[in-house]
């Protein structure tokens, strides 16, 4: 009986190593078809899953409560599985070089518990060659087994889009690769159990690795072009969004928009490719140029905010600015590599006090990573400028009149000890500095209501 048949008959198990925004939804999907062990080194995270809590908000608490995934932080449980999927993060270091320590650590952990006749599939985004040149030797060393004889290895790049309820694991074509024909066919059949859109068999592992790393590099370059256009058009006093809407009427115009490019994929993956290119003697020009533009956009937003405040006769040192949204994208709690933090740090360098509101953000991760505390919307009062950085659905319900109140002062009533909001007398056309990075509000309506309005 083949490994695939044993999995379907629940005579063997699948393990998921890494239960984050990518690994956990994969584990839950497979658990509907086969027995699954969900492993993560973070005991607190595993305990949350065991309690039926989804900290990623990717599938929801109800799904976690009802899934049959066996969540564990005990690495010995991996010995019960024969098909292993590694889905750990692959970040970059401070110098923008690849940080392979998570995938190396996961390979060591799995290697210590790897048994004969297993298949290991890596999903983490890497540059071409990492699976075969780095991961396989670690697996062999830790297990004492020989790859190609005692176990097989494959690669299937993750394409899950955090916070996206439309493009899910089941609905996105899955690229798969194996070290030989036999492993490729098994890997393809296993993923076909859960991927309704079907699988695409890549020529080899390096091709699959390269395909993944260029997907996000392409998006990064296109967004960088939009960001550069935004800088140019703002200097020309032309509304970029209006330009893109007009250009978008052409059938082959690509639908990209300017913005802050963060997260664990688009803002990271290009560096993996350029690192490998440098290693083989080629210095990237287009990819790194795009990266530089996108990496500088946080500073650009902060500088644009300060300029708007100066024109509104605001005192910069000691000013108060509220930022709505700190996650790397909308409707997602993930704060990894969020470029909103670049805006915050730059404003703080001007002596500005920044208050952050985000109902979606993971509060513990935000404090651990950046030492930033969240405020509630009702705490936003007497602001000198307000920045809407991330278009969460909750923020789209806020009205311009609500935002005006956030600029107002608190005054003490003569007949009561309570504080009440009253409009300031200095509110002229430049009084309300509103930085609407993703165009949540209508520009004309905002300007008609007295806002000094700015967007990319």
Q: CB-based burial of residue 55 (10 Å sphere; 0-12 exposed, 13-18 middle, 19+ buried)?
A: buried
SS (H, E, C) 351-392: CCEEEEECCCCCHHHHHHHHCCCECCHHHCCCCCEEEECCCC
Please give the CATH superfamily to which domain 222-454 belongs: NAD(P)-binding Rossmann-like Domain (3.40.50.720)
Please give the CATH superfamily to which domain 3-204 belongs: NAD(P)-binding Rossmann-like Domain (3.40.50.720)
**The tokens 């030492």 sit on which residue?**
371
What pLDDT sits at residue 421? 45
What pLDDT sits at residue 262? 86
- C-alpha dihedral, 83 to 84 to 85 to 88, nearest 10°: 180
Q: Write the CA distances from 292 to 45, 223, 270, 299, integer angstroms.
A: 34, 12, 11, 12
On the question of a common fold for 3-204 and 222-454, the answer reads yes
pTM to 2 decimal places: 0.89
What pLDDT sits at residue 446? 94
What pLDDT sits at residue 163? 66
User: Rounded to an integer, what is the distance from CA 286 to the centroid of its chain?
Assistant: 23
Cβ within 8 Å of residue 250, ≥6 positions away: none
Question: How far apart are the C-alpha atoms of 123 and 209, rounded to whole Å?
Answer: 9
Given the DSSP bridges, would you call strands 409-412 and 419-422 parallel, antiparallel or unpaired? antiparallel
Q: Which of 135, 147, 265, 375 is catalytic?
A: 265
What residue ranges do the domains of the chain occupy?
A: 3-204, 222-454
Per-residue pLDDT of the chain (456 residues), as tens digits, is: 899 999 999 999 999 999 998 999 999 999 999 999 999 999 999 999 999 999 888 889 999 999 999 999 999 999 999 999 999 999 999 899 999 999 999 999 999 999 999 999 999 999 999 999 999 999 999 999 999 999 999 999 988 776 666 677 888 999 999 999 999 999 999 999 999 999 999 999 999 999 999 999 999 999 999 999 999 999 999 999 999 999 999 999 999 999 999 887 888 899 999 999 999 999 999 999 999 999 999 999 999 999 999 999 999 999 999 999 999 999 989 998 899 999 999 999 999 999 999 999 989 899 999 999 999 999 999 999 999 999 999 999 999 999 999 998 654 445 454 444 444 444 444 579 999 999 999 999 999 999 999 999
| Residue 452, SS3 per DSSP | strand
pLDDT digits (tens, 9 = 90+) for 330-389: 998 999 889 999 999 999 999 999 999 999 998 989 999 999 999 999 999 999 999 999
Write the DSSP string, 76-123.
GGGGGEEEEEE-----B-TTS-B--HHHHHHHHHHHHT--TTEEEEE-
Q: CB-based burial of residue 2 (10 Å sphere; 0-12 exposed, 13-18 middle, 19+ buried)?
A: exposed
Q: Are 205 and 180 in contact (CB under 8 A)?
A: no
Helix H or strand E segment including 432: strand 432-436
Q: Which two tokens stand for residue 65?
A: 């409560």
What pLDDT sits at residue 164? 67
Q: Which two tokens stand for residue 177?
A: 């690769």
What pLDDT sits at residue 168? 77
Q: Write the CA distances from 55 to 23, 32, 156, 293, 325, integer angstroms.
A: 13, 21, 25, 32, 18
- Give bridge partners of residue 154 from the DSSP assignment: 121, 178
Q: Is 375 a catalytic residue?
A: no
What pLDDT sits at residue 125? 92
What pLDDT sits at residue 412? 47
What pLDDT sits at residue 159? 83
């Amino acid at each position: 009986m083949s490994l695939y048949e044993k999995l379907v008959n629940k005579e063997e198990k699948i393990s998921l190593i890494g239960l984050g925004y990518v690994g956990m939804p994969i584990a839950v999907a497979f658990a509907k078809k086969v027995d699954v062990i969900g492993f993560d080194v973070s005991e607190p995270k595993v305990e949350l899953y065991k309690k039926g809590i989804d900290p990623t908000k990717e599938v929801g608490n109800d799904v976690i409560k009802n899934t049959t995934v066996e969540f564990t932080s005990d690495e010995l449980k991996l010995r019960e599985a024969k098909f292993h999927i590694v889905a750990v993060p692959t970040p970059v270091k401070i110098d923008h070089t690849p940080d392979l320590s998570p995938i190396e650590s996961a390979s060591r952990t799995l290697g210590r518990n790897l048994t004969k006749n297993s298949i290991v599939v890596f999903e983490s985004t890497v540059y071409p060659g990492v699976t075969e040149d780095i991961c396989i030797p670690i697996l062999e060393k830790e297990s004492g087994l020989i790859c190609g004889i005692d176990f097989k290895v494959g690669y299937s790049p993750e394409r899950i889009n955090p916070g996206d309820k439309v493009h899910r694991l089941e609905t996105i074509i899955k690229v798969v690769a194996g070290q030989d024909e036999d492993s490729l066919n098994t890997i393809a059949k296993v993923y076909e159990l859960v991927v309704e859109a079907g699988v695409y068999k890549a020529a080899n592992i390096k091709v699959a690795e390269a395909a993944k790393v260029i997907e996000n590099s392409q998006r990064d370059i296109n967004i960088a072009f939009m960001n550069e256009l935004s800088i140019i058009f703002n200097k020309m006093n032309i509304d970029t969004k209006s330009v893109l809407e007009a250009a978008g009427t052409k059938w082959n115009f690509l639908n990209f928009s300017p913005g802050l490019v963060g997260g664990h994929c688009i803002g990271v993956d290009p560096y993996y490719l350029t690192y490998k290119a440098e290693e083989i003697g080629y210095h990237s020009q287009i990819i790194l140029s795009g990266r530089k533009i996108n990496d500088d956009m946080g500073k650009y937003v902060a500088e644009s905010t300060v300029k708007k405040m100066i024109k509104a006769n605001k005192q910069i040192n000691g000013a108060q600015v509220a930022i709505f949204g700190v996650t790397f994208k909308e409707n997602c709690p993930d704060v990894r590599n969020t470029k909103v933090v670049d805006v915050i740090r730059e404003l703080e360098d001007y002596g500005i006090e920044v208050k952050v509101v985000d109902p979606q953000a993971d509060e513990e991760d935000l404090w651990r990573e950046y030492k930033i505390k969240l405020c509630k919307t009702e705490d936003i009062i007497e602001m000198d400028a307000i920045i809407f950085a991330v278009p969460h659905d909750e923020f789209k319900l806020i009205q311009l009149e609500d935002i005006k109140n956030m600029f107002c002062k608190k005054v003490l009533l003569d007949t009561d000890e309570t504080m009440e909001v009253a409009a300031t007398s200095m509110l002229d056309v430049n009084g309300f500095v509103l930085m609407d990075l993703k165009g949540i509000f209508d520009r004309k309506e905002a300007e008609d209501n007295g806002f000094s309005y700015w967007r990319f």
